[in-house]
Amino acid sequence: MAAFDYFKQNVQKAADLLKLSEEERSTFMTPDRVLSATLEITRDDGSTSSYPAYRVQFNNARGPYKGGIRFHPDADQDEVSALAAMMAIKCAVVDIPFGGAKGGVTVDPKELSKGELDRLGRAYVRAFADNLGPDTDVPAPDVYTNPAIMAVMLDEYETIMGAKAPAMITGKPLEHGGILGRDTATADGAIYVLEALLEDQHRSMEGIEVAVQGAGNAGAQAARLVQSHGGKVVALADSHGTLLNEAGIDIDAVLKEKASGKSVHDAVAHGTPANADAVIESACDVLIPAALEEVITAKNAGSLMATVVLEVANGPVTPEADALLTARAIGVVPDVLANAGGVTVSYFEWLQNRSDEVWTHERVTERLKQTMRDAYRDVADFAHERGITLREAAYALALTRILTASKEVVS
């Protein structure tokens, strides 16, 4: 299913629940603005290449547009629009004063050198600078973009504007106004939500058995945190394979081997290797998809053994699978709540830049924990009171908050 259709389906469900009028629903069906451009860069060999690029500004009722920029061969207008819409929902779920946006360049970044990627980042800012800014639209990293690219983009923007503006972009390196803890924020936030959910079920992280799909930034950090909170990572997968160990995988040891160029399933001293999909159906209490979209489908949803799915990736569960998991009473913590820790710490970075302060790591951690726990509480209470899923509750709550803000703007 096209990503934006899936988003609209979630919005329709929430809108039915809230009995919204057609006019109110229309707020969530089309982006405020779809900006597109063709970025031309000079390659290292002197030739020229061009790449389609987008910035979709979905809704700014609650504050400046906010959302990352991805460099990916599959990034297209539909995907970027869906992700922009999800950012608006995400920011409203964690109740931070931002709207939703997303950017994308259709490019395979693995084919470009560091210098070419820098030039692409600069070209992106030149194309969209008029529509970006600390009070307008604040980008950040996303798939295959990183703090170094954010620094280059900031430099280009400041050159164009002829003034310092560190709050125009987040996820920057520390020396360019970045914030401590932004790199681990997505996984940290997800684990705070998981802790709060387990408390509701009179369980704790101690001894909990977790399967993690993804050994990139978010997956690796989630696995480390599970272990440091007394849980056991019984399955860990990357795109090549899964490593299984009922006694709990030694995460640091396996990640060290992975860093030397191997796959996690090559670390046979630490578990039993299996194919890449095995992680989904492995025996565990909690499954954390932290890599790709649409990995839990109608085909495998019937054989999941977990009782909780924590969506650290965006859109890992298809709508059909979502219905099957709900029928099986498997709790799904939706992406718009589970992975909102990243943009939450981006908000702290923006605040830090605007007040010219430097936040300590403790301050970031404390405030992130509180924000994620509050958001979980709001969503869980909303769901329990109405007998609906956490995803339905998250969307309904977000729609309510966005509509309230739009009405305040109008009146």
Residues that bind ligand GLU (CB under 6 A): 66-68, 140, 142, 170-171, 342-343, 346
Taking the least distance from each CB to ligand GLU, the nearer of 241 and 316 is 316
Q: Which of 8, 66, 102, 232 is catalytic?
A: 102
Task: Give the nearest distance from C-beta 76 to ligand GLU in angstroms.
Answer: 17
Rounded to 10°, the helix 77-93/341-354 angle is 70
Give the nearer residue to ligand GLU in terms of CB position, either 67 or 289.
67
Active site residue 8: no
* Encoded amino acid at 383, one letter: A
What is the Cα–Cα distance from 298 to 31, expressed in whole angstroms? 30
Q: Which is nearer to ligand GLU, 145 or 242 (CB)?
A: 145
Question: How far is Cα 325 from Cα 331, in angstroms, rounded to an integer?
Answer: 7
Q: Which of 349, 335, 330 is nearest to 139 (CA)?
A: 349
Q: 296, 241, 295, 292: which is closest to 271 by C-alpha?
A: 241
From CA 217, how far away is CA 172, in angstroms rounded? 16
Rank residues 66 and 401 by Cβ distance to ligand GLU and give the closer one.
Answer: 66
Angle at 227 between CA 226 and CA 229, to 5 degrees: 65
User: Least distance (Å) from ligand GLU to the CB of residue 358?
Assistant: 19
Between 177 and 342, CB nearer to ligand GLU: 342
Of residues 123 and 179, the one with the C-beta less far from ligand GLU: 179
Residue 361 CA to residue 369 CA, distance in Å, equals 12
Structure tokens at 24: 């109110």
DSSP class of 231: -
Alpha carbons 154 and 125: distance in angstroms, whole number: 8
CB of 239 to ligand GLU, least distance (A): 20
**Looking at beta carbons only, is 315 or 342 nearer to ligand GLU?**
342
Q: In angstroms, what is the C-alpha Rg of the chain? A: 21
Per residue, what are the HEC states of 139-169? Answer: EEECCCCCHHHHHHHHHHHHHHHCCCCHHHC
CB of 67 to ligand GLU, least distance (A): 5
In the complex, the smallest distance separating the C-beta of residue 256 from ligand GLU, rounded to whole angstroms, is 27
Q: Tell me how crowded residue 2 is: count the other CB atoms within 10 A of its CB.
A: 12
In whole angstroms, give the CA distance from residue 236 to residue 214.
Answer: 7
Question: What is the DSSP annotation of 348-394?
Answer: HHHHHHHTT----HHHHHHHHHHHHHHHHHHHHHHHHHHT--HHHHH
Active site residues: 102
